[in-house]
Structure 1
Amino acid sequence: MAVSLGRELVWFSDATSGRLEDLQFVLGQGPALLSEDATDVREVPDLERLLAQQWPQYAAEAKGLGVAALFVWPVHIGALQVGTMTGYRRTPGALSTEQSAQGWLIADALAQHVLNHWPSHSGGDDLGHAGAVELHRAVVHQATGVLSVRLDVPLAEALDRLRAHAYASGQSLTAAAHVILEQQLPQDTR
């Protein structure tokens, strides 16, 4: 499972769910990106059938991670959609009615918990998982600014170049951003 508020990843349960969210941000495609003002669960019960359709790059990458099905619940605070909760499984198939209902309960509870504890403080994680993050993509935005200045290009183009580099190198977007920022440190501080 992973929870994103807006485009900011705020919690993920394991490396695969974190990578799935990162891929959506890098590629600009995936089921959670189309969930604006959604009121229903977005189900992708069989990624294999999706490979040549709506999100070919994302589906191929997710399949490479061993993911066969994806499910996205909108996260609401009152009537306002503030993000998404994405779940996956390694076998294809639709959710049962009970699983879908339980997903809604988890999305509501987890979203409230994340909102109550994020950003909490600079150390530790209140959720008890390695995936609890504070401003996960802040480093991406910082690296985008560095690239914009270094390459003398607009911010949007700098972000596109960072995304392309991350995808081409097989790195997560945050790992690629860290490399860019580390290149900016003076020699004696590395």
Structure 2
Amino acid sequence: MGATTGSLLASLRPAADEGERREWAVACAHALGLGGSAVFLGRELVWFSDDTSARLEDPQFVLGQGPGPLIGDEREVRQVPDLGRLLAQQWPRFAAEAEALDIAALFVWPVHIGAVPAGTMTGYRRTPGPLTRQQPTGGRLVTDALAEQALHHWPAAHASHNGTGHTGTVELHRAEVHQATGVLSVQLDVSLAGALDRLRSEACTSGRSLTDTAGDIIQRKLPQ
């Protein structure tokens, strides 16, 4: 596993195009024994290897439940090797979402830029079980490389292509969420934090993704 991770790290070119980044993200997830993985920097979903890993981040962001929001400034991977045992008690609402996605185990690596906590990488498996002895270290190497690549390709503030994101790219997947939060803040005359709570509540109640709900608000489809 170590040699495979090392060769993957060496193969990621700074100027890699979308296809290369997608293949690299999928290969890294598989090298770590994961079904897929997604990376958050700040509040932005910037990289994901497959649709399941991207969808898994929505309930964590909407509900504030799951291992990701609790990792804080930890340095070691947080392992939840058997969701069936732990989720129903610790995160009951998140449990139903994970079960619907057929996820049996979750692993969250903290992402640091230097000494500063910057985000997380969440990986999933469809079968229960812990990581091997080498996989936590391999995951840390991957998070470092992904963070560096994301920073190198972070869209400029004036860029017009910020959007919902595509598998493996460094698009800002939450751009519509931020825009909808601003719309609600003005319409309801509430703070941005209050507007985000309203958006999360609407997504949770409707059972739709946060991005789809945000799109409806932007298009003025939801009753106010």
So what's the TM-score if we normalise by structure 2?
0.74
What is the identity, as a one-letter code, of the residue corresponding to 1:40?
A: E
Q: CA RMSD in A?
A: 2.2
**Aligned equivalents of 1:33 and 1:157: distance in 2?**
19
Cα distance, 1:51–1:174 mapped onto 2, change above 3 Å: same
* 1:166 and 2:203 matched: yes
The 5-angstrom pairing of residues 11-22 of structure 1 reads 11-22=47-58
Q: Is the 8 A contact 2:153 2:170 kept in 1?
A: no
**Aligned equivalents of 1:28 and 1:101: distance in 2?**
27
| Corresponding residue number in structure 1 for 2:41 | 5
**Aligned equivalents of 2:150 and 2:191: distance in 1?**
33
Superposed CA deviations along residues 156-189 of structure 1, whole A, max 9, x for unmatched, are 22211211111222211111011111128xxxxx
**Aligned equivalents of 1:21 and 1:159: distance in 2?**
16
Q: Is the 8 A contact 2:44 2:173 kept in 1?
A: yes
* 1:149 and 2:186 matched: yes
Picking from 37, 51, 70, the partner of 1:34 is 70
Q: Is the 8 A contact 1:32 1:86 kept in 2?
A: yes
Task: Count how many residue pairs are aligned between Structure 1 and Structure 2.
Answer: 182
Picking from 70, 77, 91, the partner of 2:113 is 77
Q: Is the 8 A contact 2:150 2:170 kept in 1?
A: no
* 1:153 Cα deviation from its structure 2 partner: 3.3
User: Quick check: 62-71 or 111-120, which moved more?
Assistant: 111-120
Q: Is the 8 A contact 2:79 2:107 kept in 1?
A: yes
Superposed CA deviations along residues 73-121 of structure 1, whole A, max 9, x for unmatched, are 1111121111111100100111011122221121111121111112266
| Corresponding residue number in structure 2 for 1:61 | 97
So what's the TM-score if we normalise by structure 1?
0.86
* 1:130 Cα deviation from its structure 2 partner: 2.5
| Corresponding residue number in structure 1 for 2:9 | none
**Aligned equivalents of 1:66 and 1:145: distance in 2?**
34
Q: Which structure 1 residue ranges, 5 or more long, are not aligned? A: 185-190
Q: Is the 8 A contact 1:42 1:71 kept in 2?
A: yes
Which consecutive segments of 4 or more residues in structure 1 shift more than 6 A?
none
Picking from 109, 122, 134, the partner of 2:145 is 109
